[in-house]
């Protein structure tokens, strides 16, 4: 085999070509890599740069959110009921640049120095021991990280403040910050309606409303552990309006989380202010009227007026055409400043626990020595008694059970049930009224009329339009706001308690309807009774109770006004309304002697079985003036006896107060008196 010799020149040319190719590939790859790097750098610089810069800054700083300044609550005249004021608080920051044990030792030394300052210059009522101060420093980091300033004390006195500012170099790590504190008028104006505050950390896991706040994304709206939040009444209902927005205090820190520079502060924003429909003077006169009358009836020598067990009283005054509540009193009440700082002492809770809640919308009891004794007495939610009778007559007329010209002979007793097992319905004190129509049945408060002409006739007529007689009754109750929420929006409002369905099952529909006809088969709140009374006055418009006239922002601009809101209407012939108005104009009631305005009213003495005794509750409803009604009032005094004695005189003082301040005819009486005096 002959081997051919390869040409060296040709081989060199081939090698050069291969080298050029590899070199081109190398440069191409290098170009691609540099291009990718340049593009990535551009993305980092222009696209991701701001985000990365913020992240880096976040790692270099720590922000502490400052609680917002809560908006104020004013009465209808602009008088402050609940308001926030500034206070000076002392914060301590663990010193930077020290090892942990050294920092703790310094903190303990500082606690001793602060204790001496507080003892010498502070308020003795707010004295703090050295242990108290150390506990607030949280040296075990159970509540805060190392860079978080600890609040040691709020409400520094001027002397404390002056000493600490003059000697600031002697107190490294100590800062003085301005904060807001909630104050309530010492006159205790509608305290249960206004509500109170508690610390967020104490309610965040137990109140659904605040559970939802834990996921708030906006940092200015994020709730803080030590923040005071609304826990009842309007403070709770308007929490989002009143709250405002957080401030921020920012510290630069090193990688050991120690503060290394000065702080920057963005001040918190004040929440909006709310202006109530409550009139301070009417409210205070209502509260005083209840307290004075409770003393009167518990010691009276008049056997009709005497009520030995009366301990509590409740009243609501509501405008007939607007639904504005001008007074809402649950008495006795308390000084809401016991909640200062968002917590209550064990002693105050023991003394006031029975009056913290609003008895005009919930079940509240008087103060008794034991639970066993409490069970012997009714709560604030009571049967309406004879105040139900105007509605009973309306139902009877509208259901064609009788007419406005029809009469019933009241013999003083009506019986129903099987022969030999009859149940008797009688009048109070055994009265016999003879031949009476619907209006006179209201005037004289005839139980037999209601039982025979309404309850019994409705039962005997039976079902109608697919509804049982008890369901028909229930439909009227709910249309007039009894057994349903008033839709006031107040937290924890009760619907009341209805018994007629249960009685119909346990006993008979006949018994249930007869008892219901004169007000013994349901228990309702004072606010429900006021709403019902306003419906009687305005001929069937159920108005939503209003507590706020307007909302203003922190600059005083109006950002919300409230208008009357009709929840439902009941259309009845005018002659039916005339019939009950005639009767309500003639009802006898104590305390209204010599009034210079007309009014319509109904007294009630509701009976309630409690722990083997029958309690008699005083109930009273009224509206004035009789023509073109302006104000509806409902008063409830559990264990108060006869409504005409135990509740009626309280209502008189409420009407007088309204007439004086606002005017039942649209002009305040005090202005009319002043004008007449000037003319003379």
Q: What is the pLDDT of residue 355?
A: 85
DSSP-derived secondary structure letter, 464: B
Inform me whether the pLDDT recorded for 678 exceeds 60: no
Q: How far apart are CA 576 and CA 401, in angstroms?
A: 13
**21-35, 176-190, 366-380 — which one is most confidently predicted on average?**
366-380
Q: What is the pLDDT of residue 1?
A: 47
DSSP-derived secondary structure letter, 214: G
Which residues, including other chains, have CB under 8 Å from residue 505's CB and lie 6 or more apart? none
Q: Are residues 457 and 555 in the same domain?
A: yes
CATH number at residue 135: 3.90.1310.10
Q: Are residues 154 and 270 in the same domain?
A: yes
Does a structural domain hold residue 378?
Answer: no
Q: Are residues 43 and 69 in the same domain?
A: no
Q: Are residues 41 and 71 in the same domain?
A: no
Among 175-179, 227-231, 365-369, 419-423, where is mean pLDDT lowest? 175-179
Does a structural domain hold residue 350?
Answer: no
Q: How far apart are CA 456 and CA 449, in angstroms?
A: 10
Q: Model confidence over 376-417: pLDDT tens digits?
A: 999 999 999 999 999 999 999 999 999 999 999 999 999 998
Inform me whether the pLDDT recorded for 54 exceeds 60: no
DSSP-derived secondary structure letter, 355: G
Inform me whether the pLDDT recorded for 219 exceeds 90: no
Does a structural domain hold residue 42?
Answer: yes
Q: Are residues 495 and 612 in the same domain?
A: yes
Does a structural domain hold residue 317?
Answer: no
Q: Are residues 154 and 42 in the same domain?
A: no
Q: Are residues 33 and 150 in the same domain?
A: no
Q: What is the pLDDT of residue 645?
A: 96
CATH number at residue 395: 3.40.710.10
Among 66-70, 106-110, 112-116, where is mean pLDDT lowest? 66-70
Among candidate residues 240, 258, 276, the one where a domain is terminated: 276
Give the long-range contacts of residues 1-6, CB within 8 A, separation 24 or more.
none
Per the prediction, the chain carries an average pLDDT of 88
Inform me whether the pLDDT recorded for 53 exceeds 60: no
Does a structural domain hold residue 211?
Answer: no
Q: Model confidence over 129-143: pLDDT tens digits?
A: 999 999 888 888 876
pTM: 0.82
How is residue 500 written in tokens? 């007629």
Q: What is the pLDDT of residue 250?
A: 79
pLDDT grade for 298, boundaries at 50, 70 and 90: very high
Q: Do residues 680 and 324 lie in contact, with contact meaning Cβ atoms separated by under 8 Å?
A: no
DSSP-derived secondary structure letter, 432: -
**247-256, 332-341, 586-595 — which one is most confidently predicted on average?**
586-595
Q: Are residues 19 and 92 in the same domain?
A: no
* Residue whose entry in the numeric block shows the structure tokens 């242990």: 131
Q: Are residues 43 and 68 in the same domain?
A: no
Among candidate residues 261, 276, 291, the one where a domain is terminated: 276
SS3 of residue 110 by DSSP? helix
- How many other CB atoms sit within 10 Å of the CB of residue 334? 18
pLDDT grade for 101, boundaries at 50, 70 and 90: confident
Inform me whether the pLDDT recorded for 429 exceeds 70: yes
Does a structural domain hold residue 564?
Answer: yes
Does a structural domain hold residue 545?
Answer: yes
Q: What is the pLDDT of residue 140?
A: 83
Angle 60-63-65 (CA atoms, 0-180°, nearest 5)? Answer: 175
Does a structural domain hold residue 371?
Answer: no
Q: Are residues 78 and 36 in the same domain?
A: no
Inform me whether the pLDDT recorded for 36 exceeds 50: yes
Q: How far apart are CA 547 and CA 487, in angstroms?
A: 12
Q: Are residues 105 and 41 in the same domain?
A: no
Q: Are residues 26 and 130 in the same domain?
A: no
pLDDT grade for 164, boundaries at 50, 70 and 90: very high
Domain limits for position 129: 60-190+248-276
Q: Model confidence over 505-563: pLDDT tens digits?
A: 999 999 999 999 999 999 999 999 999 999 999 999 999 999 999 999 989 999 999 99
More confident: 390 or 19: 390
In the chain, the number of structural domains is 3
């Amino acid at each position: 085999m002959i081997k051919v010799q390869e040409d060296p020149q040709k081989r060199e040319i081939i090698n050069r070509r291969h080298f050029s190719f590899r070199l081109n590939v190398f440069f191409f790859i290098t170009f691609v890599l540099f291009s990718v790097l340049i593009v990535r750098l551009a993305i980092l610089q222009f696209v991701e740069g701001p985000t990365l810069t913020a992240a880096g800054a976040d790692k270099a700083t720590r922000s502490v959110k400052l609680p917002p300044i809560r908006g104020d609550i004013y009465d209808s005249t602009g008088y402050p009921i609940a308001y926030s004021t500034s206070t000076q608080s002392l914060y301590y920051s663990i010193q930077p640049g020290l090892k942990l044990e050294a920092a703790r030792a310094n903190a303990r030394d500082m606690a001793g120095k602060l204790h001496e300052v507080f003892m010498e210059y502070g308020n003795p009522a707010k004295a703090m021991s050295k242990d108290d101060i150390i506990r607030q420093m949280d040296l075990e980091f159970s509540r805060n990280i190392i860079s978080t300033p600890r609040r040691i004390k709020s409400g520094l006195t001027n002397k404390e403040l002056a000493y600490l500012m003059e000697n600031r170099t002697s107190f490294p790590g100590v800062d003085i910050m301005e904060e807001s504190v909630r104050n309530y008028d010492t006159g205790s104006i509608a305290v249960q309606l206004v509500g109170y505050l508690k610390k967020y950390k104490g309610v965040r896991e137990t109140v659904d409303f605040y559970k939802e706040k834990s996921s708030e994304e906006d940092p200015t709206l994020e709730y803080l552990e030590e923040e005071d939040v609304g826990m009842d009444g309007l403070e709770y209902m308007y929490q989002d309006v009143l709250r405002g927005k957080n401030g921020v205090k920012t510290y630069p820190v090193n990688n050991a989380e120690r503060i290394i520079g000065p702080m920057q502060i963005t001040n918190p924003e004040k929440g909006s202010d709310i202006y109530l429909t409550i009139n301070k003077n009417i409210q205070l006169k209502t509260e005083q009227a209840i307290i004075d009358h409770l003393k009167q009836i518990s010691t009276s020598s008049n056997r009709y007026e005497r009520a030995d067990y009366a301990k509590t009283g409740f009243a609501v005054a509501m405008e007939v055409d607007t639904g504005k509540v001008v007074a809402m009193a649950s008495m006795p009440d308390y000084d809401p400043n016991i909640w200062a700082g968002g917590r209550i002492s064990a002693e105050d809770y023991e003394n006031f626990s029975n009056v913290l809640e609003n008895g005009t919308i919930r079940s509240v009891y008087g103060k008794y020595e034991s639970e066993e004794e409490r069970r012997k007495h009714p709560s604030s939610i009571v049967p309406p008694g004879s105040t139900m009778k105007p509605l009973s007559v309306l139902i009877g007329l509208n259901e064609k059970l009788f007419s406005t010209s029809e009469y019933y002979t009241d013999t003083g007793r009506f019986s129903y049930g099987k022969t030999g097992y009859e149940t008797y319905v009688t009048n109070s004190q055994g009265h016999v009224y003879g031949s009476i129509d619907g209006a006179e049945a209201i005037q004289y408060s005839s139980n037999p009329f209601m039982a025979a002409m309404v309850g019994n006739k409705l039962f005997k007529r039976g079902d109608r339009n697919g509804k049982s007689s008890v369901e028909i009754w229930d439909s009227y109750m709910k249309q007039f706001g009894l057994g349903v929420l008033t839709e006031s929006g107040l937290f924890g409002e009760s619907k009341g308690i209805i018994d007629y369905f249960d009685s119909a099952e346990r006993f008979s529909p006949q018994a249930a309807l007869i008892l219901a006809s004169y007000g013994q088969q349901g228990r309702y709140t004072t606010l429900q009774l006021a709403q019902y009374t306003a419906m009687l006055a305005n001929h069937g418009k159920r108005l939503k109770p209003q507590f706020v006239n307007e909302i203003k922002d922190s600059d005083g601009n109006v950002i919300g006004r409230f208008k009357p809101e009709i929840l439902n209407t009941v259309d009845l012939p005018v002659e039916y309304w005339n019939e009950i108005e005639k009767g309500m104009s003639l009802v006898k009631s104590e305390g209204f002697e010599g009034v210079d305005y007309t009014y319509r009213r109904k007294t009630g003495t509701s009976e309630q079985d409690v722990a083997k005794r029958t309690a008699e509750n005083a109930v009273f409803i009224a509206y004035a003036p009789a023509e073109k009604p302006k104000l509806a009032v409902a008063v409830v005094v559990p264990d108060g006896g006869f409504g005409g004695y135990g509740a009626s005189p309280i209502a008189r003082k409420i009407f007088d107060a309204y007439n004086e301040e606002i005017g039942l005819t649209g002009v305040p009486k005090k202005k009319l008196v002043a004008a007449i005096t000037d003319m003379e």
